[in-house]
């Protein structure tokens, strides 16, 4: 795992976008795993701006999102399909037929999980998975106690997740209590992982995921098992890390990061 600390959230988002764009430029037919949430909006704004300037081409890219609420149609403003269209897909030159999310309206939930897994496999697997992390340490909607071997499935959400996300719903009680999510095992199958964490309120959980013990109570800690992970944080999110000096030394001295400093 490589940990990069940036001065603020905007710089962290820019670096995250640059890493994604450079990966796409190196392999135009790229399979990109995407995440949603407020943290990602700046990343997607950066990618859209880069695309508009001709710095990155998404015409051959395929995307697979981590999750989707169960019971929301794609046109619902709170669905993650709507989020992705609004924040990214409508602003870049991507073929929407190559953008994939679980079907929140699927009649057979077990079959939908299997279908999504098969679609990722048929595409050749994910070249890179973008992740955020929830306040309780979840990745995707892999709530505490999710198995590290789990695959795409329907998952009941915790009260904590409900309280955190229901502010986006009007009225709040219309938020679904269940969602489809890639499993932890599905996420770990990606060839590379980039996790973005910003804000002082995430400092404690960031430290647990990066430096704490492996535990299903913090599903984000599973990234420690992956051979190619970059975690990008701002100063606030990094404030409880114990190995800060080492992380800064690696970023300042490793040749691979020369063009990103």
Cβ 82 vs Cβ 76: under 8 Å: yes
Chain center to CA of 28: 20
* Candidates 46, 67, 68, 117; catalytic one: 67
Residue range 176-192: average pLDDT?
98
Buried b (16+ CB within 10 A) or exposed e, 131-151: bbbbebbbbbbbbbebebebb
Is residue 138 annotated as part of the catalytic site, yes or no? yes
* Candidates 46, 68, 117, 143; catalytic one: 143
Is residue 235 annotated as part of the catalytic site, yes or no? no
- What are the tens digits of pLDDT across the range 199-230? 999 999 999 999 999 999 999 999 999 999 99
In the numeric block, the tokens 């990094």 are attached to: 238
Strand ranges of the sheet holding 229-234, from the earlier edge strand across to the other edge: 2-6, 229-234, 193-197, 128-131, 31-34, 62-65, 99-100
Tabulate helix, strand, coil % of the chain (nearest 5).
45, 15, 40
Is residue 173 annotated as part of the catalytic site, yes or no? no
- For the chain, the average pLDDT equals 97
Query: Which pLDDT score is estimated for 194?
Result: 99
- What are the tens digits of pLDDT across the range 125-181? 999 999 999 999 999 999 999 999 999 999 999 999 999 899 999 999 999 999 999
Q: What is the 3-state secondary structure (H, E, C) of 108-128?
A: CHHHHHHHHHHHHHHHCCCCE
Adjacent-strand bridge partners of 63: 32, 99
* Candidates 117, 138, 189, 234; catalytic one: 138
Query: Which pLDDT score is estimated for 159?
Result: 95
Query: Which pLDDT score is estimated for 259?
Result: 95
- What are the tens digits of pLDDT across the range 11-36? 999 999 999 999 999 999 999 999 99
Is residue 136 annotated as part of the catalytic site, yes or no? yes
* Candidates 41, 76, 136, 248; catalytic one: 136
Query: Which pLDDT score is estimated for 50?
Result: 98
Query: Which pLDDT score is estimated for 52?
Result: 98
Query: Which pLDDT score is estimated for 202?
Result: 98
Domains and CATH numbers, the chain: 2-256 (3.40.50.1360)
The model's pTM is: 0.97
Query: Which pLDDT score is estimated for 241?
Result: 98
């Amino acid at each position: 795992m490589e940990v990069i600390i940036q001065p603020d959230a905007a710089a962290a988002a820019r670096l995250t976008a640059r890493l994604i764009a450079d990966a796409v430029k190196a392999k135009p037919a790229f399979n990109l795993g995407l995440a949603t949430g407020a943290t990602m909006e700046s990343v997607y704004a950066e990618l859209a701006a880069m695309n508009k300037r001709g710095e990155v081409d998404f015409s051959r890219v395929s995307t697979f999102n981590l999750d989707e609420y169960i019971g929301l149609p794609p046109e619902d403003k709170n669905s993650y399909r709507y989020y992705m269209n609004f924040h990214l897909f409508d602003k870049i030159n991507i073929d929407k037929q190559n953008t994939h999310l679980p079907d929140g309206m699927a009649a057979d939930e077990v079959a939908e999980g299997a279908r999504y897994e098969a679609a990722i496999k048929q595409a050749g697997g994910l070249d890179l998975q973008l992740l955020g992390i929830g306040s309780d340490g979840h990745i995707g909607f892999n709530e505490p106690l999710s198995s590290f071997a789990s695959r795409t499935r329907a998952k009941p959400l915790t009260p904590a997740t409900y309280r955190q996300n229901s502010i986006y719903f009007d009225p709040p009680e219309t938020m679904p209590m269940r969602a489809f999510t890639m499993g932890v095992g599905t996420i770990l199958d990606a060839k590379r992982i980039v996790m973005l964490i910003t804000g002082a309120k995430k400092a404690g959980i960031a430290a647990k995921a990066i430096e704490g013990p492996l535990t299903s109570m913090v599903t984000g800690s599973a990234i420690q098992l992956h051979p190619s992970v970059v975690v990008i944080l701002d100063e606030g999110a990094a404030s409880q890390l114990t190995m800060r000096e080492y992380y800064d030394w690696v970023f300042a001295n490793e040749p691979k990061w020369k063009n990103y400093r």
